Structure 1
């Protein structure tokens, strides 16, 4: 009987780190791809084998895929470069599109047992408010908002094309936002909580969040490696949380004063200093518009398919926020 090895990209990131720890806790053999020089390599569990490589450099990935013949290979591709900027970026394209193409091509060449590709709900065409968004069959990069979403749509279609045309056994997962403790990279939601607790957020926009706990997301992805059907996609999301409820949850967990003022998107755009999320490009009108879009778009996703086929479930969002606040306190951030 062949031994199974899990090849995990993005292993030093928030999601990849949680997946790797979960796998090794179950006694699984894990090989972790980490970009050379990434200080976050220290968070990869010691039980995992670390291989340094670059998604955009096909030659550097050969050692990652060089597995003894007596092994079955399962690949979890969760590495990506996230941007909140709406502007095109060659680096984002190279990592998210070219990097995925390289992983897929090697999966085909090596005849791996399974690939689970981590996409994003942002890559899915947005239905009007009031309609529930479900897993698509095709992707339209020109019809999604934001450059990150466009690159994820292109990459996901490439995966599905390889399933249909090259015999690849792959499944797709579509996380909504990702939340939870131990986010050493301080992603958007963690930064939001920090700023709220420090009193730096004075107003909110009439919108919503949809963020899945990273621990539940990791469980869903691992379940997909075994139960995900070939060529199928699974939305892994949570309940849609209105902005006012989000303020309540953070205040209850942290003791921070509750922000009372909720503005319309138009009012918020007129108050650039009230930006909800710090953007990597600094404070500018286009970045602000994109941030407001993410909070006011249709965030109603259905995870019924994942619940039915993968056994996916989510903990109460109150627990996620409480655990995040407790972790930030332990880190001295709030």
Structure 2
């Protein structure tokens, strides 16, 4: 019998890849989208669009008939002024949709958290057993993802079957917004990165992240969290791989942290209050001063999480950005 999955966040990066995977695997898909959402990432897909939002009081009625819930949607913002909407969408929205799933008798839920909720283990690599104190998490976004994950754990205590996945930094197609990682790739392709900052991230192919969601549904342990990641790289190593793929020279000089900190402070505390669109957030600069490294071996071992080589993911991302952002960019496909 064909199963039906209810998916939030299907218009976004991870969600768009997950919806395609679910269709490929024979699922019927209901995708919750806000009335104001752009549907570009869901065009021409054989899915049912359900209008609404995470705090919709009638959400349970819209979920009836679905066996699985993938709660992928979240508000992402590093602006300190967005503290209230981050809490409203990420924390209260998660609490509401989990309650709706209980009411609709959803059999199993996969909740998309983030490594942001885990935090950074200074000078080391964090796994699922590590948790940074919430007051040490940089920025309201990370804190909102922490508290949203607590709502998922509260639902488990009520008997709900919820599995938590924590993606790191995905790379690949359908990064329409784009994400911060996608923005790095896009700026690199446009030759707008004369400098780099001394930071590090864990990267993973976005299609592996989508596969990790489905594997969590099939194999994950109730109440457990699984880091969906692959390779830890410094930003310099990441850019060097991009250079190898594209032939575009990678930046060779680091940017001293006091420069972006100064720009961000002016943006958030001088220009933004005057109504000027801010460019750089203080929290993004503070985060870049850390190396955000993670160990995904639990998901590989217990779920069978794929580990597509990062250069493959990067090439696919480059191809997608080149096609969809009208870049005047050509490179030797033999690279």
Structure-1-length-normalised TM-score: 0.88
Who is 2:246 aligned against?
254
How far apart, CA to CA, are the structure 2 residues paired with 1:103 and 1:194? Answer: 34
Which residue of the partner structure matches residue 118 of structure 1?
112
Q: Which residue matches 2:279?
A: 283
- How many equivalent residue pairs? 319
- Corresponding residue number in structure 2 for 1:106: 100
Aligned-partner Cα distance in 2 for 1:115–1:137: 23
Are positions 1:218 and 2:210 aligned together?
yes
d(CA) in 2 for partners of 1:86, 1:241:
28
- Contact map agreement 1:223 1:310 (CA 8 A) in 2: yes
Tell whether the 8 Å contact from 1:97 to 1:152 is kept in structure 2 after alignment. yes
1:66-85 mapped onto 2 (5 Å cutoff): 66-67=64-65, 73-85=67-79
Q: Is 1:153 the equivalent of 2:146?
A: yes
- Give the superposition deviation at 1:42: 5.7
Q: 2:288 matched to which residue of 1?
A: 295
Distance, in Å, in 1 between the alignment partners of 2:82 and 2:322 is 36
Offset, 1:293: 3.0
Alignment of 1:45-60 (within 5 A): 46-59=45-58
* 1:1-334 matches, cutoff 5 A: 3-40=2-39, 43=42, 46-59=45-58, 61-67=59-65, 73-129=67-123, 131-136=124-129, 140-164=133-157, 166-266=158-258, 269=261, 282-284=278-280, 287=281, 289-331=282-324, 332-334=326-328
> How far apart are residue 283 of structure 1 and its match?
2.9
- The Cα shift of 1:57 comes to 2.0
Q: Secondary structure at the match of 1:55?
A: coil
- Separation in structure 1 between the aligned mates of residue 173 and residue 41 of structure 2, nearest angstrom: 17
Whether the aligned pair in 2 keeps the contact of 1:228 and 1:310 (CA below 8 Å) is yes
SS of 1:116's partner is strand
Moved more, 187-196 or 225-234: 187-196
Deviation at 1:212, TM superposition (A): 1.8
Distance 1:125 1:322 in 2: 29
Q: Deviations over 1:119-141 (max 9, x none)?
A: 01111132221x22111487743
Provide structure 2 residue ranges, at least 5 long, that are not aligned to the other structure.
329-335
Gaps of 5+ in 1: none
Partner Cα distance (2:185, 2:14) in 1: 18
Which stretch of the first structure deviates more once superposed, 303-312 or 255-264?
255-264
For residue 112 of structure 1, give the secondary structure of its aligned residue in structure 2: coil
Q: Is the CA contact 1:121–1:235 (under 8 Å) kept in the aligned structure 2?
A: yes
Contact 1:17 1:44 in 2 (8 A): no
* 1:209 Cα deviation from its structure 2 partner: 2.5
For residues 294 and 180 of structure 1, do their structure 2 counterparts lie closer, same or farther at Cα, with a shift above 3 Å needed?
A: farther
How has the CA–CA distance of structure 1 residues 208 and 125 changed in structure 2, closer, same or farther, with 3 Å as cutoff?
closer
CA contact (8 A) 1:139 1:157 kept: no
Structure 2 length normalisation: TM-score?
A: 0.87
